[in-house]
Amino acid sequence: MWDFLQHLSFWDWLALGTVLLILEVFGAGGYLLWMGIAAAAVGVIKFLVPHLGMEWQLLLFAVLSILTAVYWWKRQRSSAKTSDQPGLNERGSELIGRTFVVHQAIVDGRGKVKVGDGVWMVTGPDSPVGAHVRVVAQEGAVLKVETV
């Protein structure tokens, strides 16, 4: 093994880069992408500088892996934009403060209200069918209500 590491060729680095990029395709979430690019870059450097020692190759791989990952992380953070519609994916947030009629009686703190053409699960004080309740908060797909 030690002998293999001391005689790494540029083909070995390109093969490692290719394997890492293929593994990335199967869902590594971006972690192996930058290591694959760094391995390919070391392969190119090794091709241009054939007498590059094993220690320098491994050091280059480590440094390039870290630099490329940090560069991409910073670039992603700087390009993140705030939405002009902050409640877009929070379906129940626009219901807070509105009043609805109880569709299924709220018993032991749980029931349902009719909202438009849909029905939402609610938690709140016990109320009979037909009572009016006001939405005060949202927890996931469940609305918190109070009696009106």
Share of the chain above pLDDT 70, in %: 91
Query: What tens digit of pLDDT does each residue of 73-118 get?
Result: 888 888 767 777 766 677 778 889 999 999 999 999 999 999 988 8
Cα 46 to Cα 63: distance, rounded to the nearest angstrom: 15
Cα 133 to Cα 135: distance, rounded to the nearest angstrom: 7
Tell me the average pLDDT across 11-36: 87
Least confident of 20-34, 35-49, 77-91, 102-116: 77-91
- pLDDT of 6: 67
Q: Going from the N-terminus, what domains does the chain have, and what CATH number goes with each? A: 2-79 (no CATH), 93-147 (2.40.50.140)
- Comparison of pLDDT for 77 and 41, the residue scoring more: 41
Name the pLDDT band for 136 (thresholds 50, 70, 90). Answer: very high
Name the pLDDT band for 2 (thresholds 50, 70, 90). Answer: low
Contact 39, 62 (CB under 8 A): no
Which 8-state DSSP code applies to residue 90?
-
Contact 138, 96 (CB under 8 A): yes
Q: Has residue 46 got a pLDDT over 70?
A: yes
| Phi, then psi, of 136 in degrees rounded to 5 | -110, -20
Tell me the average pLDDT across 24-30: 80
Q: Has residue 144 got a pLDDT over 80?
A: yes
